[in-house]
Chains A and B, each alone.
Chain A
Amino acid sequence: MASNGKRRVRDTDLYRSVFHPGDRFRRSEVYKSVVRHPPPDTPRGRAMTSFHNLFLHIYPVKVPREVVGWRATLRLGFISSVLFLILFISGTYLMFFYRPVVPQAYLDMHDLHADVAFGQFIRNIHRWSAHLMVLVVFLHMMRVFYSGAYRAPRQFNWVVGVGLLLLTLLLSFTGYLLPWDQLAFWAITVGTNIAGYVPLLGDNARQVLLGGPEVGGDALLRFYVLHIYVLPSLVVLLLSVHIWRVRKDGFAVADREDEAALDRSETSPREEVEDDARA
């Protein structure tokens, strides 16, 4: 029969080597030892892909339809994480060309613009992503607040989120000093002076931050270490807890699902696929 003939042609090595060049790679032992799930073209394949992949298993295997819609979360948490990733990568690049020493810090920042490949570009990416991250994290908190998603059982995750907001602000603050120009110098002077007004702890806090009575080489080094090591590590830690709690507590949108939505989720994934195909 005709379909048999077609299938025979499609099964030949020649046909597959032209139209499915990835076949050979996917049949290799190396691929099979790394990727242990079948291709995600059946419900089971999709479940295993999600279950057996470190990055994908951040999400549950199944989520309510409403959760993956735009309006549920506006993707603000996800955008914040992506911005953090961008900052991590671009910051790593900048570290190769920057010394946290007076006066080299300022000169390195200048050299970055003139002598380093993509230097200015990467620095601007880093800078704008940082500004955006503060904004997006704030919007994310607003979304959670106004949709009531902070309520039980998610109260602990709200606290973790507040911690992440503080860390974001601290990262922004510590990063501000690193160019070692006038703007940086006076901004940190003002900022740390404000810290000095905190009752009881104020003077000590200011002393610990600056490593001396005023903004100088010690302060630059401390801010640098906080900015590139201590604070990002804390963000990674808290972010992991944060995402893990999202999975544990379930999606807030799911709480609001009405009976009809629950009924829909009872349909098998196959039927949904067929529904989509018909639509």
Chain B
Amino acid sequence: MFRTEAVGAEWFDQNVPCTQACPVLTNAGQYVSQIAAGDDELAYLTARLPNPFPSICGRVCAAPCELACRRGVIDEPIAIRALKRFVCEREGVESPEAGRRWREALLDQPSRDQRIAVIGSGPAGLACAHDLAAYGYRPVVFEAQDRPGGMMVLGIPTYRLRREVLQAEIRAILGLGVEIRTETALGRDFTLSSLREDGFAATFIATGALRSRELQIPGVELDGVLRAVEFLINANSGYRVDLGDRVVVVGGGNVALDVARTALREIAAGRTQPGSSAGAQEGAEAAAKVTLDVARTAIRMGAKEVICVALEARNEMPAHEDEIAEAEVEGVRILHRRGPKGIVGKTHVEGLETIEVSSVFDADGRFNPTFTEGTESILPCDSVILAIGQAPDLSWLDPQDGVEVGPRGTIAVQQDSLATSAPGIYAGGDVAFGPRNLIDAIGDGRRAAASIHQALADVIPGKKRFRRMLPMVTVPRPVLAYDAVPRVAIPSVSSERRIGVPEIELGYADDQARLEAARCLQCFHNISLDVDLCILCGGCVDICPERCISIVPAEDIEDIEGATAGGPESLLILQEDRCIRCALCIERCPSDALSMTGWNEDSTMIDNAVPA
């Protein structure tokens, strides 16, 4: 039995999984196809307008789009992130071309007088300031550290992200008319109420989650026990951290979660849907990434041996397989299915006592580790780094501000508008959701800016549609055998030369990028059927190489109108998730009933990218 579902604009949006998976709704398929066609300028515009940090995302994004990519069902997903880096290197802030067209496309709003305070200059804060500037406001960003960037500068190791790229990206945002005040900390130099007195029309809090969680085991107070965030901040700020020869990193991702609400199997299969469980998954992913970052940074800091202790088996770890492999290539050893029981030593760390994990998840798929007694052993080491997650530091919070705190120690916000319980105050990023991916934080910033704009400019809320159907003659396929081309490996520095700070991943060369981009199935192209022309010959069913077209009798369809009297007798069904857009059915169709249409962006892409 089949069910019917209305096919409208929303359905066409949903039908492009990469775009839907992206928190800022970047139309990944579109810019990948534009790269394949050789139009880098347009591709950059497509990537830039919904995302203020394309050059950074091109290097470090967790790429939820790749998990959702339908090409992954056939062989491997498109290397969307690497392609984004490719196009940014040609057209982005790090290129000599550095942004002219995107600024024109962005800054078309009348300027407004209101000043808006953005606290924190991490991805969420800067994204919010960026959008506010684009809406015409005068955003002021407050940053406690001496330089802007938040976790992008403090948490992301330089071997992932060159600092010049980060600085160029931030400079471009500040160039839109964003004012920044560094070394100005909330609670020390100003408060929420003082901002209101200073005449700020609204406030967005994005102070992050910089406080490390504590592990309740004996020995955490010993010398040589470090917290992941402190370690990364010190290392990325250029301070020397004395680790000794043998370093143990505790954490594998899930340990950072209070409750893992998603069965990991689901994550591995890429079947998680955006929704309540996504937060847990992002948190686990982010924590796993921190664990591996810490381990790899420790190697660069001169440690001779780095061992990661993870509760999970390799396939249970919520980190990308690539990242685990990369860390191992560099010499990080991962000890799977061991849990920390205690840290031994007199005044300084001498070893970590570990215990075997018998199961990580309970029958309901919840994170609930159990251990096998009597399997304790001691892992000798000189320092222990605890990468078990972070929480926001809310010590600045004054009860009189009226900002409520949620059960997980984060600021409580409304999911859609990111408004806190206090009027005119919004929050997003790690401070509201706990540690999450960079791109989610960017999405929060953009969402908050849209809410603030809606509240201040009194814009009538409502979904605007910016895409429309365009008839196409044929699907452009620059590579004939696009379905057979395997994923092009992303070039990287060989393992023996990975010392110090240079970026490990090298971008695609021109021909590599075009080939990889040509693998895209182009899900934003749709096959349309003109029922009046169809002669039910079945030619399309015959030719379809993926067997996604079928003709079924109307009795097999639930709730179809007029199935019994005078309605259609047969229906042509297309399984979108299996369609590779080869267009053979259209070529085959003798009566011209089938045609290809493109679900394309209109010129006003910027508004479209704001999640409604």
Contact = CB atoms under 8 A, between A and B. Distances in A.
Interface of A: 1, 4, 7, 37-39, 41-48, 51, 60-62, 265-270
Given A51-B584, A268-B578, A45 B544 contact: no
B542 A61 contact: yes
Contacts of A41: 484
Contacts of A267: 547
Interface of B: 74, 329, 480-481, 483-484, 489, 495, 542-548, 550, 578, 580, 582, 584, 587-588
A166 B369 CA distance: 81
A38 B582 contact: no
Contacts of B547: 62, 265-269
For the complex of A and B, 10 pairs with smallest distance between CB atoms: A38-B481, A43-B545, A47-B545, A44-B545, A44-B483, A42-B484, A42-B483, A44-B582, A60-B542, A38-B480
Given A39-B484, A51-B543, A51-B587, 8 more contacts: A37-B480, A39-B481, A42-B484, A43-B546, A47-B545, A62-B547, A267-B547, A270-B546
12 contacts: A1-B329, A7-B489, A38-B483, A42-B483, A43-B546, A44-B582, A47-B543, A47-B544, A60-B542, A266-B550, A268-B547, A270-B74
Contacts of B548: 268
Nearest to B329: A1
B546 A48 contact: no
Contact of A269 (B481, B495, B546): B546
> Which of B329, B484, B495, B587 has the most A CB atoms < 10 Å from its CB?
B484
Nearest to A48: B584
Contacts of B584: 44, 47-48, 51
A47 B329 CA distance: 41
A55 to B, nearest CB: 17
A43 B543 CA distance: 10
Contact of B546 (A37, A44, A60): A44
Given A44-B580, A51-B588, A62 B546 contact: no
B70 to A, nearest CB: 13
A1 to B, nearest CB: 7
A276 to B, nearest CB: 16
A45 B582 CA distance: 10
A268 B550 CA distance: 12
Given A1-B329, A45-B483, A51-B584, A62 B542 contact: yes
Nearest to B575: A268
A61 B546 CA distance: 12
A45 B543 CA distance: 11
A251 to B, nearest CB: 12
B27 to A, nearest CB: 24
Contacts of B74: 270
B543 A61 contact: yes
Contacts of A60: 542
A208 B542 CA distance: 48
Nearest to A4: B489
A38 B483 CA distance: 9
A76 B251 CA distance: 68
> Which of B489, B495, B545 has the most A CB atoms < 10 Å from its CB?
B545
Nearest to B580: A44
Contacts of A37: 480
A75 to B, nearest CB: 22
A43 B481 CA distance: 11
Contacts of A61: 542-543, 545
A61 B549 CA distance: 14
Nearest to B495: A1
Contacts of B484: 38-39, 41-42, 45
Contacts of B578: 268
Given A1-B329, A47-B584, A51-B584, A42 B545 contact: yes
Contacts of B542: 60-62
Contacts of B544: 47
A41 B545 CA distance: 12
B520 to A, nearest CB: 14
Contacts of B329: 1
Nearest to B548: A268
A42 B489 contact: no
Nearest to A1: B329
B227 to A, nearest CB: 33
A61 B578 CA distance: 18
A48 B582 CA distance: 10
A250 to B, nearest CB: 9
A102 B352 CA distance: 109
Nearest to A36: B480
A266 B541 CA distance: 11
A69 B542 CA distance: 19
Contacts of A47: 543-545, 582, 584
Nearest to B486: A7
B506 to A, nearest CB: 13
B321 to A, nearest CB: 13
A255 to B, nearest CB: 14
B531 to A, nearest CB: 23
A56 B489 CA distance: 36
Contacts of B483: 38, 42-45
Contacts of A42: 481, 483-484, 545
B510 to A, nearest CB: 17
Contacts of B588: 51
Contacts of A266: 547, 550
A18 to B, nearest CB: 22
A4 B325 CA distance: 14
Contacts of A269: 545-547
A44 B481 CA distance: 9
B518 to A, nearest CB: 12
Contacts of B489: 4, 7
A46 B481 contact: no
A60 B550 CA distance: 16
B538 to A, nearest CB: 9
Contacts of A7: 489
Nearest to A51: B543
Contacts of A39: 481, 484
Nearest to A46: B545
B326 to A, nearest CB: 10
A9 to B, nearest CB: 14
Contacts of A51: 543, 584, 587-588
Nearest to A250: B538
A62 B542 CA distance: 6
> Which of A4, A42, A45, A270 has the most B CB atoms < 10 Å from its CB?
A42
Contacts of B587: 51
